[in-house]
Amino acid sequence: MRPTRSLLLPVLAAAVAVPAVLAAPPARAQNFFERLFGIRPERPPVPPRGVPEAQPPAPAAPGAPGEPGPPGAPEAPRPTPAPARPVVLKTPSEDSVIGQDLQLNGLSGTLKLERSGPAVTARITLPGTKISQPAEACTVPLARGNPITLASEGKPEGVPRFEAAGAECPLRFDVVEGGVLVSMLGQGPVCTFSAADCATTPAGLWGPAAAGLIPRAGEFDAARGVADKAVRDNYKVMTQRARREDVRPVVSEQAAFSADREQLCRGYAREGTHGFCHLRVTENRALALASRLGANTAVPTAAAAPRRPRPKPAMEPAVDGMNPDAAGGGDVPQE
């Protein structure tokens, strides 16, 4: 009986599976019996026509980006980013101040640059206060009011520079657009003239009077944003190029410039209204930094002021019987 039972077990199992197989589609039932009794080996499924078979990914080359190399192999060097370039503003020309009547802080004294052949001369009267009476003002004309020949020093900080080293009060003149930054060549900020009983402090920005600058306040404000950004960008390039131990002095220099500019421009007449002094000092600072970074200041890379948007063309007046909103400009239907 045991052999008979062992023979009947597969038959009973097949009988149990028959109803499920009969409920399946004919093709699936046939495949089931073929696999059950070993009539035909199962064939691999055939992909439908027109669908490409997936190809195995090609092995990545050793050292390719994003793929680990063989064990122990050095990593591929990453490309270094291109170094930032300094920003160069338009260099001021001495032609913008030749023949102009300039005053210290737009208030006092007189300075006039003139051409004498290939040379540049200056007539300058320094303002000051009396030594004996500090509350009283005084003026001293250099060289008794005669023109002083200036020595050209080129553009060591990106702008034209002239010097009057042999004058009673040795001075340096750095040209800005529409003015001159004057600094002392001798020691101390004061030039004393005992015979005239006058002590003068000529360092500062010599430029136009405030009345001629206020109408241009909008122009100066727009250009100021460009100049401030140029200074920040050039300082950023300096910190990128500097060694680690030299970064702190660069940051300190930038902070000192902001304080020095405020100190220099606070005395300019109506500075808070037009901003002429802050703009010109900032532009010259940007050019000085670009020169230190080795840029060619003769070729500006940024405009002194953003371009103004072009005015929109005026719309043509609508014609009677025409619909101005229609794409084809067709006639308006009459009711």
Q: For residue 302, what pLDDT is reported?
A: 84
Strands (DSSP E) found in 142-285: 148-152, 161-164, 171-176, 179-184, 191-193, 198-200, 204-207
- In whole angstroms, give the CA distance from residue 248 to residue 254: 10
Instruction: Report pLDDT digits (tens) over 132-163.
Output: 999 999 999 999 999 999 999 999 999 999 99
CA-nearest of 108, 305, 312 to 221 is 305
Q: For residue 47, what pLDDT is reported?
A: 56
Greater confidence (216 vs 18) lies with 216
Whether the predicted pLDDT of 313 surpasses 90: no
Instruction: Report pLDDT digits (tens) over 242-251.
Output: 999 989 999 9
- In whole angstroms, give the CA distance from residue 247 to residue 231: 16
- In whole angstroms, give the CA distance from residue 276 to residue 208: 9
pLDDT-wise least confident of 12-16, 17-21, 40-44, 75-79: 17-21
Q: Is 144 exposed, middle or buried (0-12, 13-18, 19+ CB in 10 A)?
A: exposed
pLDDT tier at 233 (50, 70, 90 boundaries)? very high
pLDDT-wise least confident of 17-21, 125-129, 215-219: 17-21
Region 305-311: mean pLDDT is 49
- In whole angstroms, give the CA distance from residue 123 to residue 143: 9
Q: For residue 115, what pLDDT is reported?
A: 95
Integer angstrom CA distances of residue 176 from 93, 208, 313? 8, 12, 37
Query: What average pLDDT does the chain have?
Result: 81
pLDDT tier at 84 (50, 70, 90 boundaries)? confident
Q: Is 123 exposed, middle or buried (0-12, 13-18, 19+ CB in 10 A)?
A: middle
Q: For residue 187, what pLDDT is reported?
A: 77
Whether the predicted pLDDT of 21 surpasses 60: no
Q: For residue 36, what pLDDT is reported?
A: 57
Region 223-233: mean pLDDT is 97
pLDDT tier at 39 (50, 70, 90 boundaries)? low
